[in-house]
Structure 1
Amino acid sequence: MLLWVILLVLAPVSGQFARTPRPIISLQPPWTTVFQGERVTLTCKGFHFYLPQKTKWYHRYLGKEILRETPDNTLEVQKSGEYRCQAQGSPLSSPVHLDFSSASLILQAPLSVFEGDSVVLRCRAKAKVTLNNTIYKNDNVLAFLNKRTDFHIPHASLKDNGAYRCTGYKESCCPVSSNTVKIQVQEPFTRPVLRASSFQPISGSPVTLTCKTRLSLERSDVPLRFCFFRDDQTLGSGWSLSPKFQITAMWSKDSGFYWCQAATMPYSIISDSPRSWIQVQIPASHPVLTLSPEKALNFEGTKVTLHCETQEDSLRTLYRFYHEGVPLRHKSVRCERGASISFSLTTEHSGNYYCTADNGFGAKPSKAVSLSVTVPVSHPVLNFSSAEDLIFEGAKVTLHCEAQKGSLPILYQFHHEDAALESMSANSAGGVAISFSLTAEHSGNYYCTADNGFGPQRSEAVSLSVTVPVSCPVLTLLSAEALTFEGATVTLHCEVQRGSPRILYQFYHEDMPLGSSSTPSVGRVSFSFSLTEGHSGNYYCTAENGFGPQRSEVVSLFVTGKCWVLTSHPPLAKFSLTHSFKNLFALSSFLP
């Protein structure tokens, strides 16, 4: 036997879920199973959603589909199969299966059954079949009909779901059983759902509650009533035809679980919505930012905590922390008044901090809190620079002292061979510098110190050597005898008063070099020789330490006859030598 499931079709109603309507098919007579030869009129309902027009009918049976068109919304049929209808522009209706039965006994049931319906199941027999008085549900005896054809279910509910059939007897033969009909009782409307214009309204703002549901298309003309609740308290005057309820102002005390009921008239079917929590929001006040430990010495490496707190409890509040306007971190908390962040201090953490609190109604800032991180100075670095490549007397030199780390201000002190030179305080990064023109006394070791209250830190020493050009040398002539005779020894002295060593001395006779000598310090060098006639002429010397030779004044030595006369330019001395002495002359080596 065929087992047909009775289908539920839902239609939109005012104030409830909207969707594209689907037409439905109704039957007259209302049975899905009839005897062969009988007629059933199909009506395609739902045309109030469309303009009046022709209707297409689709008939499918044994794998074949036949399309027919009628000028209105009805069609009379006599063949078994699946039927659908469609108006222009509408979706297809749900299928309806009709069975034109050749059986001698059938059980007839309506196309659909809803909660609260009065349902008739009809057991019909052909000639030569006698009805007994039994109807079955799920193969269990349900009732004895006493030769009646109809079985009544006065108020259908979910307990009436099941498979139904009836039985009878053929004359002088045997018992017969009808087809089985499966009854599935449907709700006339979907379970309601509560909607609110806001589930987190601001304190003092209105809220509109809507009880959303959907009637089946077959019950689209059934009126519904609605009732709204907070927790277990009825709102307003109770039941109303309107699916909406207006609350003019929501306050903190109005937070709670809200729900609604929808019911058919006269309250035969009542359905509850799920409960929804509505939390009245109080806009956040300006938060307060605190720093802990509050009175700690904020050295680099110290762990500090910033705490941002509001005075209101909110379902969710977003806290953000800022350093000099730059976002640091954010925390979102539920049902708490504050949030905290912690970090270990570095010099970059100095500055102003503030926080904001936002519970969905705009961020509110706190007042700024200042944090100063104290960092001891590192060892400074001393270096010097000069515009000239050679550090010589008169050149300008700049000493620069800088500590790479340390809280400001920093006091810098320059030193030369442990003697304090000059001190300067720096209120910004980059260090300090002093400049001076070099003299010979500036040679030596330099260093600097930096101090920001934690004791001075000393730089590495830098050595500075100042080169002094030699002064013009002075050439002098000395003799051991009062009168210098042939063969006597004469010494030339060349001496400078100033100049950095080493100094190279050179002696000349009539522009011809005689010899040279160097000395590691300021002083003089000497050149000795025994006199001969060939030593007459002009003598001078030069001194050099890398800046070019400096030349002395010329000294003249004259020989007259047997005598030698020594003069200088300007004349220093003049004397005669008799030529009765032997004509001897020898050059001596240079004396240091």
Structure 2
Amino acid sequence: MSLEMSVLLLWLVLIQEGSTIRPAVTFTPDYKKIFTSEQITMTCDVGSTLAEGMDYIWYRDSKQVYNGKSYIIQEAETSDSGSYQCQSRPGEISDPARLDVSNDYVILQTPLYVYEGDDIYIRCHHYPGYQEEQTRFYKDNSVITDWSDTAEYYIRDVTKMTAGRYRCEKIVNYYLSSSQNEDEVSVMVEDLFTTPTISVTPQPVITTDKMTLTCQTSLPPSPRHNTQLRIAFYREGGIVQGFGVSDTYEVYNVQLEDSGKYSCEVGTTDGRVRKRSAERIIQIEELFSPPVLKISPQFIHEGDNMTLRCNTNLNEHRNKDLQYAFYRDGRKIQGFNSDNKYEVQFIQEEHSGNYSCEIDTKQQDKEEESDTSCTRSHKVYTAEYWLVLIQEGAAIRPAVTFTPDYKKIFTTEKITMTCDGGSTTGEGMDYIWYRDSEEVYNGKSYIIQKAETSQSGSYQCQTRPGEVSDPARLEVSNGAVILQTPLYVYEGDEIHLFTAPTISVTPQPVITTDKMALTCQTSLPPPPRHNTQLRIAFYREGGIVQGFGVSDTYEVYNVQMEDSGKYSSGGFCELFVSSKTLKCHIHEEKF
């Protein structure tokens, strides 16, 4: 089998095994340039724990030259120059290490490896048998030490700035003659460890998860693979875990406020070399969306059945059981369980109040929790709804008004919508606005500064406590022309300003000597016409018996037979938009 085939088989072992530390070549003395006739020892360093029981092969310029852990050249020759590699068997092959053997008068010697944080000597060395005089050192063609008797230049705490072209000049004597000689080398500074990167698990990070940050870096092969490193973690520039041996930082039961820019820093124990990772933005996602409390039916009267639903959306990346609880006026009415609804049968006035729901991920009621070992609690979300039981003759139902009073406008135009609950009901109220049954705003007036077509819809407002208005339709157009009409039109339209009056009598039947009371009944629309001033008159057999006034009753004391007849009532209103009088009559009834 040829030597080339042997090398191939060894590389196949590398691919299949891949389990040992990659070796590195070291020189003793630690110079990568020497003179002819000098000795050098090359060692295959695989780490102290793996060195026993291994075979070693040495290569110069890819050709096998020796077997053994250390390769010693007793008296170097120029032919010994080359790129040396060693391989442990089984194991990997080292990176090349360049050795130069010179027979010049002067050489500039530098260490085989130069890493960040090292202390090194650069040596201006003369050929054995000659006598040295003074030496001068340069870096990048600038003098760094002038002529002196010192043949070494010391560099403490190497950094990347140390790299460059170094040169020395030296005067040497041989018998009675002297000469000035020089040599030049390039010094490259290797990374002691790579710039760290930070990673996070899981992906994505969702509230209540355990979040783990890992700081990743790597050391070079031997001889620096055992360098002790310390790692710290930062959030928004502030330290969250000080320097230590752990490469992870964990946050249990993570919450939204744990979002931010995270980074890590790696350093040597002496602090000479420190590197920080780039910042990583971590945005914690909600486990579930903020809840919305829905009630049905929308308008509740005494005796109705009511259902409250606490609605949310669970994050698509998690499958967890959610728990729901319900409250009225801050008091729990249904403890945490998996049912997101609360039902009340045959609702009564005492059921009115401020309802809310909470959502959590815990399996037990929060009030019954006994585990106090965790210093952080699960995030709890709350939604509220103010329920007012609707009773006959209760508060005035609000109405929506537009300013300007047009139910169709152009895009970019401004419109103000006001929730008119009547002058006596406006103080101390909260207002909620809905568009197509979806809540859009809180406040008495909802102002759209620059209308868009997407803001077209049926608007309703609700006073809290109070009722919900009838829908008021707004159309936002981007057409060339629109026909604008008021939101409400009463007199002269098919819509009556007030209902046709009816007449009633008490007592029933009416007996002579009784006090007979006739009542004229009608009703006005919600605001803005609810304050319209009405006048009422009463008639008997077509003749007026009580002229127009504010009273809706006509009374006859000590009634007699001759008071029998056909009675009716009539009403009119003083309209704010015209001076016309509207008379309303009813069918006559015989008493």
Q: Name the TM-score, length of structure 1 as normaliser.
A: 0.43
Larger Rg: 1
Q: Name the TM-score, length of structure 2 as normaliser.
A: 0.43
